[in-house]
């Protein structure tokens, strides 16, 4: 099961072609994003009256990396959120706080690519709530775009069949992936995904039940990456860091 990304343009999913010329960039118009100029009662009573935006993903997902593009209009950069709280819910009624985070101010250029905020640590949820605790001094609060990497929870079998390890981790130049599947035959598919959800490497190996050692890392820049493994209906996911 391959991880997918839910990209949430804050006006409408149909504006995707207007909001971005490139997948990981956002334009410089304020009306392609979400703006709040007055507080309102939050879906999470603990947040009171606040500037907030709630996402209903339509069904429950296993949530992974969260990325945010702040307000990117050159004259309205101070509308961008500075500190946010992130809460999730399975039913939209009971909320769990993931944490509070500081966002960088956007650049005001159309090459702006947003930023990685946090790993949601495979929490299962249908609703994601982002609350602005403060901004960069503007009269309103805003965001341009949100992306969450997810796995659909339907039919997922966790990784007990795939035995995988990486070393060293963190690494400087070379990384060894040691992998085998003990449950099913067929190829083991593996990919390396960067912190923005972009696939850097995607390959497969024939599963013989024996351990395979694969040398990786020489094409990677310093940063955070995720090795995604799939064999049949089982999958595994490993976080690695290159110094």
Confidence band, pLDDT 50/70/90 cuts, at residue 41: very high
CATH superfamily, domain 159-242, is: Macroglobulin (MG2) domain (2.60.40.1930)
* Dist CA 22 CA 33 (whole Å): 16
Q: How confident is the model at residue 16 (pLDDT cuts 50, 70, 90)?
A: very low
> Tell me, what's the pLDDT at 130?
97
Averaged pLDDT of the chain: 81
Cα dist. 8→5, 33, 63, 144, 217 in Å?
9, 10, 14, 9, 31
Average pLDDT over residues 90-94: 84
User: Is this model's pTM higher than 0.75 or not?
Assistant: no
Give the DSSP letter of residue 233.
Answer: T
| For the chain, domain boundaries | 4-152, 159-242
Which of 177, 156, 185, 157 lies closest to 226, judged by CA? 177
Query: For the structural domain made of 4-152, what CATH number should be given?
Result: 2.60.120.260
Q: Does residue 1 or residue 34 have the better pLDDT? A: 34
Confidence band for 126, pLDDT divided at 50, 70 and 90: confident
The residue to which tokens 């130049």 are assigned? 173
Separation CA 38–CA 183 (nearest Å): 55
Contact 157, 173 (CB under 8 A): no
pLDDT higher than threshold 70 for residue 89 = yes
For tokens 């995707």, what's the residue? 16
Among the listed residues 225, 221, 222, the one whose alpha carbon sits nearest the alpha carbon of residue 237: 225
pLDDT at 204 over 60: yes
Q: With contact defined as beta carbons under 8 Å apart, do 101 and 148 qualify? A: no
Determine contact, residues 63/120, Cβ cutoff 8 Å: yes
Q: Tell me phi and psi for residue 54, to 5 degrees.
A: -115, 140
Across the range 72-88, mean pLDDT stands at 95
Bridge partners of residue 151, in order along the sequence: 62
CA neighbours closer than 13 Å in the CB half-sphere of residue 203: 10
27 is written with which tokens? 């334009």
Instruction: Considering only residues 31 and 148, tell me which one the structure prediction assigns the higher pLDDT.
Output: 148
Looking at residue 77, what is its pLDDT?
A: 96
Average pLDDT over every residue of 32-48: 91
**Residue 238 — pLDDT band, cuts 50, 70, 90?**
confident
Q: Which whole number is the average pLDDT over 81-102?
A: 93
Contact 98, 86 (CB under 8 A): yes
Whether 192 has a pLDDT exceeding 80, the answer reads: yes
Query: First and final CA of the chain: distance in angstroms?
Result: 29
How many Å apart are CA 153 and CA 30, to the nearest integer?
34
Examine the pLDDT at 216 and tell me if it is beyond 80. Answer: yes
What is the average per-residue pLDDT within 189-206?
83
Q: Is the pLDDT assigned to residue 196 strictly greater than 50? A: yes
134-157 pLDDT tens trace: 999 999 999 999 999 887 654 444
Check pLDDT > 50 for residue 205: yes
- Dihedral angle over CA of 34, 41, 38, 131, nearest 10: -50
More confident residue, 23 or 216: 216
Q: What pLDDT score does 31 carry?
A: 59
Asked if pLDDT for residue 201 goes beyond 60, the answer is yes
What is the arithmetic mean of pLDDT over 12-32?
A: 42
Give SS3 for 227: strand
Q: What is the mean pLDDT of residues 96-124?
A: 92
């Amino acid at each position: 099961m391959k991880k997918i990304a839910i990209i949430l343009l804050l006006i409408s999913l149909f504006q995707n072609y207007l909001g971005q010329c490139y997948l990981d960039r956002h334009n410089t118009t304020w009306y392609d994003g979400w703006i709040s100029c007055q507080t309102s009662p939050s879906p999470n009573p603990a947040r009171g009256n606040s500037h907030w935006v709630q996402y209903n993903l339509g069904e429950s997902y296993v949530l992974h990396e969260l990325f945010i593009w702040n307000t990117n209009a050159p004259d309205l950069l101070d509308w961008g959120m500075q500190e946010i709280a992130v809460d999730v819910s399975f039913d939209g009624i009971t909320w769990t706080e993931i944490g509070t985070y500081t966002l960088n101010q956007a650049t005001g250029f159309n090459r702006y690519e947003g930023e990685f905020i946090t790993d949601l640590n495979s929490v299962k949820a249908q609703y994601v709530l982002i609350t602005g605790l403060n901004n960069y001094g503007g009269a309103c609060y805003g965001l341009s775009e949100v992306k969450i990497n997810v796995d659909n929870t339907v039919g997922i079998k966790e990784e007990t069949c795939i035995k995988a390890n990486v070393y060293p981790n963190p690494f400087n130049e070379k990384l060894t992936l040691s992998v085998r599947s003990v449950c099913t035959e067929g190829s083991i598919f593996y990919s390396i995904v960067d912190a923005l959800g972009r696939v850097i490497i995607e390959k497969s190996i024939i599963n013989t039940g024996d351990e395979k050692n694969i040398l990786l890392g020489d094409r990677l820049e310093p940063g955070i990456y995720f090795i995604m493994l799939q064999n049949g209906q089982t999958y595994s996911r490993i976080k690695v860091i290159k110094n």
